[in-house]
Amino acid sequence: MIPGETIASGGPETCPDCGKTPTLGIYRSNAGYYIGTYCDCGPYSRESGYYSTREKSNEAFEQGGYER
């Protein structure tokens, strides 16, 4: 991971485009489920790797055991 690539690695906590603080949650893309942030502009950061099921991503989110 590149420093500053995610919020956890030092990236900005506020979106420079919309000025909002992104919401951490579980999201889905074509690659699978991931823990990341979303703001008014759309997806902001992906804080985890991809999970094959929502249940696996929920478990990681609840335990705080996720990283890229």
pLDDT-based confidence at 1, cuts 50/70/90?
A: low
Q: Computed from CA positions of residues 19, 24, 27, 29, in that sequence, does the dihedral angle turn out positive or negative? A: positive
pLDDT-based confidence at 4, cuts 50/70/90?
A: confident
Which pLDDT score is estimated for 3? 79
* Each residue's pLDDT tens digit, 22-65: 989 999 999 999 999 999 999 999 999 999 999 999 999 999 98
Q: What angle do CA 30, 23, 25 make, to 5 degrees?
A: 50
With 80 as the cut, is the pLDDT of residue 13 above it?
yes
pLDDT-based confidence at 2, cuts 50/70/90?
A: confident
Instruction: Dig out the tokens for 11 from the structure.
Output: 């990236």
